[in-house]
A and B are shown apart, each in its own frame.
Chain A
Amino acid sequence: MENNQQNMTGSWQLNCPIEIPAETDCVTLAHGEGGRLSRKLIQERIASVLKNEFLETSDDAARLPRVDGPLAFTTDSFVVSPLFFPGGDIGSLAIYGTVNDLAVSGAHPLWLTLSLILEEGFPLMLLDRVLQSLAEAASSTAVKIVAGDTKVVPRGAVDGLFINTAGVGKLTEPVPPGPAFLREGDELVVSGPIGQHGIAVLAAREQLQLDPLPHSDCGSLLTAVEQLREALGDRICCLRDATRGGVAAVLQEWAGSSGLTLSIDERCVPVTPGVKGMSELLGLDPLHIANEGTMLIAVRQGAGQEAVSVLQSLSKTADARLIGSVKGRGVAAVTVKRTLGLEQPLHDPLGSPLPRIC
């Protein structure tokens, strides 16, 4: 427990901007033992905020209506520290993360499940904040949380709160064929400035005194994906939200699937001055830093500029840019043209980026 520490009075100090009064009620092990307190926690604090027709029944499984056509199914776990950071929190992250995974897979998100793993002593007030944020994110993307689970573990077993979500979506035609079907000449687009989430979380976790504070790009890509698909149809080959490992990890994965070389120009990749400055200072490469609401799109030759125009018409993706193209396999799987024009290999990130000494 490095980030969320119990102070001398027994209440919680978290690296987040929310002040927690000492007398705040906390999660106890009894909240997770299935009795009256568990029911009260679920009914009064969780279901009441996330309410919908599926959660009203107390069945062990949600009974869902028939869906015509194939489905997509995904799951993700969220263990971010700190739980609250400029631009987002673990609650909105848990919804947007899963919604984005479905959206970039070619599916329209329908239903989500929600599992909360709570640490004994976690302030209920913070749980309320997380649930409120989660409910707002679900509402903004029109997905319904149809089933869930809550566990409480002894103090020290988790870092405050871990969340798992799983999501089901309906695949919509044309389903993007995926990176294995990339071709030479295909074009690569990024939906906005990169590295914002990783830098925002790092600055919040390490309490780096930055002015202005970097903000995460945590948000939904659903509208952008839907508009893009409507405009470009089968000219979209693949989409991927560039989360852990950043843009470099997505490019490496696509290069691996396709057997081709993916080549980008660093000078075309949008990076905010804050992220650029922090990256220079800490010796990090923005191409390796995590995003939570920014995606890469590969489109067929000649469709790149149209994709950029569609994305730029939306506020969330107003800074979209054409950043590169797909080539025949060269010496390196992924290459980047750096500032002065020299083409270099772009490697996979090696673990989490570590800041340098000087």
Chain B
Amino acid sequence: MKYLDEYRDLAAAQRLLDEIRRVSTRSWTLMEVCGGQTHSLLRHGIAAELQGTVELIHGPGCPVCVTDQADIDFACQLAKRPDVMVTSFGDMLRVPGSQGSLLDARTRGGQVKIVYSPLDAVELARRQPEKQVVFFAVGFETTAPATALAVKQAAQYQLDNFSLIVSHVRVQPAMESLVESPENRVQAFLAAGHVCTVMGYESYNRLVERYQLPVVVTGFEPLDLLEGILACVRQLEAGETRLENCYSRAVQMAGNQSAQDLVQEIYQISDARWRGFDLIPAGGLSLREQWQQFDARVRFSDSSLPVILNSECRSFDVMTGQLKPTECPHFGKQCTPETPLGAPMVSSEGACAAYYRYAGV
């Protein structure tokens, strides 16, 4: 398949693996920021192949995993109201809040529907004026432009039955917060290629210069990942710290300007609560004042719920690279995809789910 198979070529992958081993004089610790990269590294066996040469630790890059539990509880609570239909992407439905997931809420009679685009939720609101349609807007910079467009479209249609639970988060502040942690082990970052497709990658210069770390923009296919890893290792071996783009077929330095403009028009940068991390300064997006009629928390201000956090889940340690999923005492025991203690075990980009699914035999 074009753009897929050519990046999964076994002989080319073998050459890159050999080259990484050849240039490494010691073991380096790299963090792949995105959960999609984690899954690809495990699915294709790259993490196992490089054991002893490169240690790959898994970053916070799964928007579903880092969604604040209070937001999930709020969504579940709204779903129980007879006048409300909660919509979201499929991933979000199995993630447990303090009192169950959106799928659990649906089983108990709540109205929850999977959509493939926020614009589908706007369309539902148009077709069902008697319902309040709430879109649970989760995701990094990749999904924010589409939800911004949904807000504009809802305004254009003058819909008063469409709103968002905004849980958008921003990657770079989380990377900085990780590096500043006293337990930091990251020596170089594989930056998430799809986020850079939208935002560009110039802003990573700050990270490179301030923290003296190589940052390499990396894609998701095996050859993309191996090239990204090789670029990091070469820099580390040479004692260099540079920003590099190994995903030039999709990513430009400036990113997608019209998508950025749209996000800028609808959202403002704000501090955000990340599950496991607590509050990250400038770590999220919120609706600007002029769009607040589309904020579900404003519209349904009467709905509030105490949050009960699951103290057993070690997701913070996993998402900051402190703990491998398999080292967690609950992994595969109390915590499985059927009975998850936390989001990383059920999200399709969760690191624990990746280990559970792809751990070698």
Question: How many Å from the CB of B93 to the closest CB on chain A?
Answer: 6
Listed residue (B114, B222, B349, B358) with the most chain A CB atoms within 10 angstroms of its CB: B358
CB within 8 Å for A339 and B222 given contacts A276-B1, A357-B63, A357-B92: yes
CB within 8 Å for A357 and B361 given contacts A280-B4, A340-B13: no
Contact A344 B361 (CB under 8 A): yes
Q: A330 to chain B: which residues have CB within 8 Å?
A: 361
Q: Within A316-358, which residues are at the interface with B (CB < 8 Å)?
A: 330-332, 335, 338-345, 347, 350-351, 353-358
Listed residue (B10, B49, B349, B360) with the most chain A CB atoms within 10 angstroms of its CB: B360
Q: Within B87-129, which residues are at the interface with A (CB < 8 Å)?
A: 89-94, 113-114, 116, 120, 127
CB within 8 Å for A356 and B361 given contacts A206-B116, A340-B44, A350-B337: no
Against A, the Cβ 8 Å flags (1 = close, 0 = not) of B128-149 are 0000000000111011000000
Q: Within B247-300, which residues are at the interface with A (CB < 8 Å)?
A: none
Query: How many interface contacts (CB-CB < 8 Å) are there between A and B?
Result: 97
CB within 8 Å for A357 and B10 given contacts A273-B1, A277-B1: no
What residue in chain B is nearest A207 (Cβ atoms)?
Answer: B120
Listed residue (A277, A338, A339) with the most chain B CB atoms within 10 angstroms of its CB: A339
Query: B313 on the interface (CB 8 Å rule)?
Result: no
Q: How far is the CA of A206 from the CA of B49 in the complex (A)?
A: 39
Query: A2 on the interface (CB 8 Å rule)?
Result: yes
Against A, the Cβ 8 Å flags (1 = close, 0 = not) of B313-328 are 0000000000000000
- How many residues belonging to B are interface residues under a CB distance threshold of 8 Å? 42
**Interchain CB contact (< 8 A) of A356 among B44, B46, B348:** B348
Q: B180 to chain A: which residues have CB within 8 Å?
A: none
Q: Within A269-305, which residues are at the interface with B (CB < 8 Å)?
A: 273, 276-277, 280, 282-283
Q: A208 to chain B: which residues have CB within 8 Å?
A: 116
Contact B46 A354 (CB under 8 A): no
Q: A342 to chain B: which residues have CB within 8 Å?
A: 44-45, 48-49, 360
Contact B43 A344 (CB under 8 A): yes
**Interchain CB contact (< 8 A) of A335 among B89, B113, B140, B361:** B361
Question: How many Å from the CB of A172 to the closest CB on chain B?
Answer: 38
- How many chain A residues sit at the interface, stated as a range, is 20 to 34
Question: How many Å from the CB of A214 to the closest CB on chain B?
Answer: 14
Query: B242 on the interface (CB 8 Å rule)?
Result: no
What residue in chain B is nearest A284 (Cβ atoms)?
Answer: B348
Q: A343 to chain B: which residues have CB within 8 Å?
A: 360-361
Contact A338 B361 (CB under 8 A): no
Contact A358 B194 (CB under 8 A): yes
**Interchain CB contact (< 8 A) of A341 among B10, B43, B91:** B10
What residue in chain B is nearest A273 (Cβ atoms)?
Answer: B1
What residue in chain A is nearest B17 (Cβ atoms)?
Answer: A340
Contact B113 A356 (CB under 8 A): no
Q: How far is the CA of A356 from the CA of B65 in the complex (A)?
A: 12
Q: How far is the CA of A3 from the CA of B120 in the complex (A)?
A: 13
Contact A344 B138 (CB under 8 A): no
Q: How far is the CA of A249 from the CA of B94 in the complex (A)?
A: 20
CB within 8 Å for A354 and B114 given contacts A332-B361, A345-B359: yes
Q: A339 to chain B: which residues have CB within 8 Å?
A: 8, 10, 43-44, 222
Query: B338 on the interface (CB 8 Å rule)?
Result: yes
Q: How far is the CA of A280 from the CA of B3 in the complex (A)?
A: 12
Q: A345 to chain B: which residues have CB within 8 Å?
A: 357, 359, 361
Q: B46 to chain A: which residues have CB within 8 Å?
A: 340
Q: A332 to chain B: which residues have CB within 8 Å?
A: 361
Interchain residue pairs with CB less than 8 A apart (24): A2-B113, A5-B127, A276-B1, A277-B1, A339-B10, A339-B43, A340-B10, A341-B45, A342-B44, A342-B45, A344-B360, A345-B359, A347-B356, A350-B337, A353-B90, A354-B90, A354-B114, A355-B91, A355-B116, A357-B92, A357-B139, A358-B36, A358-B142, A358-B143
8 closest cross-chain pairs (CB), A and B: A342-B45, A354-B90, A355-B90, A356-B348, A357-B89, A283-B348, A357-B91, A358-B142
